[in-house]
Structure 1
């Protein structure tokens, strides 16, 4: 059995808070394993495949940390955190089918191991299990889960489609990120505050914070996909380029009118970046392009919006930790 991932290192978190969060994550993992177990051994193994592969448990950690703004971690907070993580894992099963991915979290993806049809159905089972957990938390939680699921799906659909003729490509892309990544992280933070007895105003603050945090998290991942080397992350760099995704640095390059960018624009618009040589050339040109710094500045600005959303909250260790978390998700890329 894969051990529970450790709490992310944040400089403002005391040993006491770290211990509470670690204990909470262990309770979340135990609940996850109980809920996804199945009498059919194959289904039990398929359900647990990505859970066993690990992951940072970023979303449940955020739920637990948000609860520290109220009365703290309790069984409802743990259940909400487990529901959010299962929703996330279910979405990964579907994402990997759409992207034809072979690896997830350092292990074979569900579609690579079981085939597309089974991977889709496993994702559906996990969505169902997540909904069952959330249903025990009341009608308001179910409504939020349903709204979150709708936005997740809308974001994925829009991500696979280009911006319309009247849309600004960057604004369109940021809207996609708010739906496909931001909304579930927003729900994770919102649930933590809700089930720890925080006021509606604090719950809304955490929702806004979480959505911006999620967008910054994804923008940072987009930059890492370009700037990293294989040995740094264990993930092949340039995956987004290979799949034809127009992330923020790419959009900035395509908007450039500089003649010096003509080769890079040609590669991004017309090159078959599934070919290793062309992908390597595009990565080299993009890494040295000012668009990378422009995208970094935008990423840090979104993280600052997340931190700013917390300004109205009274000072506390939990608030400091949430602000540090917003910093840490973007300092991975400088």
Structure 2
């Protein structure tokens, strides 16, 4: 069976040197510890709340944030107990944000299962997310003030990103506004994970900024690729093609289409707006084949290249190689 790390392009075939194999083995061992301890950390005595708190964790997930944190920790002392705790914190924080996002976006499916608010209602889903945020804070408290400040500032950015998405662009360019929302809602937590790996493993402090910048840039790239994936059926999530478009969620392909201002673009936007029409699926297919979708992929590649440039300040070795391969796997999710 493929390891968790291999899901991110970190395959043994590409990591042949003994030091690289050892780094990969350590990464898999750390991810296994995170996975096993997540269940314990999310357990609650009340059976209903217990089922709610573990719901999305048990539905699966990529574990991107713990993987990056554990990889960054190899710049320091490796997967200590504190590092494993930090990896669990970022994953619990991510899970908490999903409960809230699905309520805000009225998304009915998450990770191939009905969203928490569909099963338990909006109020319980929101409270479930709040409970997970509280658990992340509780787990982070023993790791010290520096970790607590980083947790709090990341939580602030998550909230601001959701608020700005809800308010929409005002005086700024819609595309620039959207990219900033992605940086806040997605990039900030991935950046925090990468930076925490350096902090909690006692790695050299000069690696904090490049890891933080790598995480934010690759987070934006990741979400832009998701915008393109949304335009076709996803076996990974079980979502039909055009789920975000149908829900009225802004994506870069639709924003770029709006900016074009020609008659054909306006006609396609009109077809996409009629979500109850029998022609909606064909309109989504037309958007998937449109040049604005390839432009979106190019913007994703630009952010990936930005992420790669930040790695020039890291020492050559298994960690840098792993981050490079992971960044390529983000783009390679489009077949």
TM over 0.5: yes
The CA deviation at 1:257 is: 3.2
Structure 2 residue 212 is the aligned partner of structure 1 residue 220: no
**What is residue 173 of structure 2 aligned with on the other side?**
168
Identify the residue that residue 272 of structure 1 maps to in structure 2.
274
Per-residue CA shift, 1:288-322, capped at 9, x if unaligned? 21111111111100011001111121101110110
Give 1:65's aligned residue: 71
**Residue in structure 2 matched with residue 331 of structure 1 by the alignment:** 332
Which residue does 1:6 correspond to in 2? 4
CA distance in 2, matches of 1:96, 1:327: 28
Give the distance between the partners of 2:256 and 2:161, measured in 1 at CA: 21
When the two chains are superposed, the root-mean-square deviation of aligned CA atoms in Å is 1.9
Q: Equivalent residues in 2 for 1:1-334 (5 A)?
A: 6-7=4-5, 8=7, 9-11=9-11, 12-13=14-15, 14-164=20-170, 166-226=171-231, 228-230=232-234, 234-268=238-272, 271-273=273-275, 275-333=276-334
Query: Gaps spanning 5+ residues in structure 2: where?
Result: none
Is residue 228–residue 288 contact of structure 2 (8 Å, CA) maintained in 1?
A: no
Q: Using the alignment, how far apart are the partners of 2:3 and 2:318 within structure 1?
A: 22
Change (3 A) 1:151 1:111: same
Query: When the two structures are aligned, how many residues end up with a matched partner?
Result: 327
Mapped partners of 1:153, 1:5: distance in 2: 33
Matches of 1:276 and 1:213, distance apart in 2: 36
Decide whether aligned partners of structure 1 residues 24 and 265 sit closer, same or farther in structure 2, where only a CA change above 3 A counts. same
Cα displacement string for residues 9-34 of structure 1 (whole angstroms, at most 9, x for unaligned residues): 32444443232112111211233222
Does the 8 Å contact 1:135/1:142 carry over to 2? yes
2:105–2:249 CA contact under 8 A, matched in 1: no
- Cα deviation for residue 233 of structure 1 reads 5.4
**Structure 1: runs of 5 or more not aligned:** none
Could you give the per-residue CA deviations for residues 240-266 of structure 1, whole angstroms, max 9, x where no partner exists? 111112211111111113333231133
> Separation in 2 of the partners of 1:251 and 1:230?
22
Q: 1:99 offset after TM fit, Å?
A: 2.0
With normalisation by structure 2, the TM-score equals 0.92
Distance 2:149 2:285 in 1: 46
